[in-house]
Structure 1
Amino acid sequence: MEIDHHSSHIPKWKAKEVEEIKELIKTYHLFGIVGIEGIPAKQLQKMRRDLNGTAYIKVARNTLIKRALEEMDQDVKDMSEFIDVQTALIFSDQNPFKLFKLLEKSKTPSPIKAGAVAPKDIVVEARPTSFPPGPILGDLQRAGIPAAIDGGKVVVKETKTVLKEGEKAPQLLASMLNRLEIYPMVVGLDLRAVLEEGSIFRPDVLAVDETQYFNDIALAAKQAFNLSVYAAYPNADNITTLIAKASTESRNLGIYAVVFEPELMGALMGKAQSQMIAVAAAASAKNEEAVDDELKQTLGAAAAAAVSATTEAKAETVEAKEEKEEESSEEDGMAGLGALFG
């Protein structure tokens, strides 16, 4: 009988831990590997409580996690590459996208510690503070924060970038940022990868912009609908639009081709009337005697209607301009009062 000497020397508590991890992987719909570096124990406990009923977090040594993964199927073994520094396992029956979104929402701002690397440029805005004059003024100035006294309080007199992305925070600056309640760090469970039914999902896939995603779907649906109408491809969604389009096009064709149908007679008579008036106007312009009195009255009425429409359009333009000038005048007046009364 072949003996596994490597396994025989594993302490019982370690073997039990490995078996527990393997059983959790089999029990839940998915499991993921999360980074817990920099999360205080108290805050981690709170996260575990908040996720209770949705996800289960298992903290174990990296060596034990690797051993458990190596004793399972190949897709599970592949998750070993995401074990790094401080690692924990998360188990859930949610889908990977919901789990990722849930963990991202649970992240909270946190103070930067001395020696920590700035994840982004840290900017201190010009603003008042609640600090009375005292030693803190000198501490702020030594930390590179432009502070002064104004109205009996310490103020930050100008906006300044005090730490560039990638730089380490000096101890005094970290302390002053904390005093100013500037928390540039984001603390939370950092999901590195999730395994679901043999597929590994990384954060770059799970980080879906839902608004953009739905906008893209709506745009695609609209473009598909327009294409089906343009191609005259009938289906339940576009049949009403296709019938309306066909009806409009057939009516326009009938009018253009002068097809005498009962439904078109009104439009054809109107078209003929317009053409007749245009011919009569051209003839009258060359010779007033070319048209009879009845046509002259018709032309006069048409000309009067055109003048009236033009006059109304001009009046609307003038009225709109006057309203704009009045609004501008009111704004200038209010600005003057503001300047007068501070």
Structure 2
Amino acid sequence: MPLKPEKKKAYFEKLENAFHQYSKILIVGVDNVGSKQMQDIRFTLRGKAEVILGKNSLMRFVLRKIVKEIPALGQLNKYLKGNVGFVFTDEDPAEIREILTSFRRKAPAKAGTIAPCDVVVEPMSTGLAPNQVGVLQVLDIPVKVARGAVEITEAVKIITKGDIVGPSEANLLSMIKIEPFFYGLEVCMIYDDGEMYSPDVLDLTDEDYLRAVKTAVTNMTALALGGHIPSELAAPHIFREVFRNILSVVAETEITFPAVAELKEYLADPSKFVVAAPVEEEKAEEKAADAEEEEEEESSSEGGFGGLF
């Protein structure tokens, strides 16, 4: 039913104010979300975020107006497809998504709906009578009859994510009392101060960011070295290679300077390359000597008092 003019005006003002007030917007899918579920979400988000739903045509109407003031919001238009809404906030989007996820509810597989995930039936006793074995055989599920009930003997995927649930699959899952789906506000995209990104970004950890930075630094250094491009990253490697070349020249000529004085000494007197025994070996010998002394002291002590007992 279309909104009355006064309600439509109030809706436009509410949505326009939200675009001005908040810096972050979560675009959420609202398929199969019940009114009680939505009420609980709104109550929990109070003070942290504001949920605004509505027809896509109405949301686009407001966006066309607001884009003149905030051009970056024009990116939202292409995501207004299907049954979606906005969650406005200034809080951490990861925290808001966690709250939304906590309100996901189990639901049965209904014929004609699009599966939000794969459904795999594990080996189990279905509790069905032997005369109902045909329900499972229609779906090519391996079964056997044991102790007066039908048992599924192997794990079988009967629904694939994105497929339309058929009546046979819906009927079977209902009979064996499996509710495979979870429904709630699903975050599709996030607008954050002019930038758009996928909710997958919220799953990245500090280690992921550090690994990405290290990889980028390594690639940039390799590019600079390969292309002979002087840069701050490549400089240490370039200087090291230059100095190595200088040492090669010095080793073959009479050229010398303070930084290579020690090298020239070693080349002039190869005996300097002979090093002393490792420190660890000396320490081991010292410990062995100390142990022998302790044994001698103990034996002498026992010899002095042995005649008293």
* Equivalent of 2:6 in 12, 37, 50: 12
Alpha-carbon deviations, 1:17-76, whole Å to 9, x = none? 222222222111133543212223343344445545543212334454344434434445
2:113 maps to 116
Query: Structure 1: 5+ residue runs without aligned partners?
Result: 1-8, 274-342
Q: Amino acid of the residue matched to residue 116 of structure 1? A: T
1:147 aligns to 2:143 (yes or no)? yes
CA distance, structure 1, for counterparts of residue 131 and residue 56 of structure 2: 43
CA distance, structure 1, for counterparts of residue 137 and residue 36 of structure 2: 32
CA distance, structure 2, for counterparts of residue 186 and residue 19 of structure 1: 33
TM-score normalised to structure 1 length: 0.54
Maintained 8 Å contact 1:258/1:268: no
1:222 aligns to 2:189 (yes or no)? no
1:138 aligns to 2:133 (yes or no)? yes
2:293 maps to none
Maintained 8 Å contact 1:100/1:191: no
TM-score normalised to structure 2 length: 0.59
1:187 maps to 183
Q: Amino acid of the residue matched to residue 147 of structure 1? A: V
* Equivalent of 2:24 in 30, 43, 57: 30
1:83 aligns to 2:77 (yes or no)? no
Q: Amino acid of the residue matched to residue 219 of structure 1? A: T
* Equivalent of 1:58 in 52, 62, 81: 52
CA distance, structure 2, for counterparts of residue 255 and residue 228 of structure 1: 29
Q: Amino acid of the residue matched to residue 89 of structure 1? A: F
Q: Amino acid of the residue matched to residue 164 of structure 2? A: K
Partner-residue secondary structure (3-state), 2:85: strand
Equivalences, count: 257
1:270 maps to 270
Alpha-carbon deviations, 1:135-191, whole Å to 9, x = none? 7963752562333234676532123332455543233522433546462x4534344
Maintained 8 Å contact 1:163/1:169: yes
Q: What's the C-alpha RMSD, in Å, of the aligned pairs?
A: 4.6
For residue 234 of structure 1, report the CA deviation from its aligned partner. 7.8
Q: Amino acid of the residue matched to residue 170 of structure 2? A: A
1:294 maps to none
Are residues 255 and 60 of structure 1, via their aligned partners in 2, closer, same or farther at CA, if it must alter by over 3 Å? same
Are residues 156 and 268 of structure 1, via their aligned partners in 2, closer, same or farther at CA, if it must alter by over 3 Å? farther
Which structure ranks higher in relative contact order (CA pairs < 8 Å, sequence separation ≥ 6)?
Answer: 2
Partner-residue secondary structure (3-state), 2:66: coil
Q: Percent identity?
A: 19
1:176 aligns to 2:168 (yes or no)? no
Q: Amino acid of the residue matched to residue 154 of structure 2? A: E
Q: Amino acid of the residue matched to residue 138 of structure 1? A: V
* Equivalent of 2:251 in 247, 252, 255: 255
Q: Amino acid of the residue matched to residue 264 of structure 2? A: L
For residue 267 of structure 1, report the CA deviation from its aligned partner. 4.1
Are residues 258 and 142 of structure 1, via their aligned partners in 2, closer, same or farther at CA, if it must alter by over 3 Å? same
For residue 80 of structure 1, report the CA deviation from its aligned partner. 4.8
Are residues 213 and 188 of structure 1, via their aligned partners in 2, closer, same or farther at CA, if it must alter by over 3 Å? farther
CA distance, structure 2, for counterparts of residue 28 and residue 21 of structure 1: 11
* Equivalent of 2:66 in 55, 58, 72: 72
Are residues 25 and 99 of structure 1, via their aligned partners in 2, closer, same or farther at CA, if it must alter by over 3 Å? farther
Query: Structure 2: 5+ residue runs without aligned partners?
Result: 274-309
